[in-house]
Amino acid sequence: MRGKSTLKGKGPAVRGALGEVIVVMSLVLVGCGKQSAQIEQNKFKLQAMIEQNTHQIGCITPHIEQNQQELRSANIAIENNARLVAADMAVVADAQMKMQQMRQTNDQNLTATLPIAGQHQRNLHIEIRNVQSSTQTVARP
């Protein structure tokens, strides 16, 4: 009984406090409800963005794969061309080396024949003088 008597005098105050707690809890729940609704709305927006991005990735992926294949093909072509150029350069270098050797041989031959040519030229001059002398001798009677 004692418990009843203490609540009797405080009944309206307790009821008022309980009412305030209920109002506050309602406001909190309403606020939580708004936040939950906002979270749910954001969740739907995020899902829509994910689906849109997935679709865009799906559309772009074939182009990326095609570009990668074209890039691989271009790289293979470049490597093949580089090999051909290297082979051509080796042929040119070999031909150039042979030409250099031939030039050196020809230079040596020319250098060796110069004294002979000089001697032939001197002999020719002597013969020309001899012919001139003979011609002058024959021309004087």
Report pLDDT for 137: 77
3-class secondary-structure state, position 1 = coil
Report whether 130 contacts 136 (CB < 8 A).
no
Mean pLDDT to the nearest integer, 7-22: 68
Q: Give the mean pLDDT of 87-94.
A: 97
Is residue 1's pLDDT more than 50? Answer: no
Query: Given this model, what pLDDT does residue 141 score?
Result: 61
pLDDT in tens, 18-49: 777 777 777 666 666 677 778 788 888 989 99
Q: Is the pTM of this model over 0.85?
A: no
pLDDT for the residue numbered 123? 93
Average pLDDT, integer, range 64-82: 97
Q: State the Cα–Cα distance between residues 44 and 88, nearest whole angstrom.
A: 64
Q: Lowest mean pLDDT of 21-30, 76-85, 132-141, name the range.
A: 21-30
For the record, the structure tokens of 97 come out as: 């080396």
CA distance 51 to 8: 63
How would residue 84 be classed by pLDDT, with cut points 50, 70 and 90?
A: very high
Query: For 93-108, b where at least 16 C-beta lie within 10 A, e where not — what string?
Result: eeeeeeeeeeeeeeee
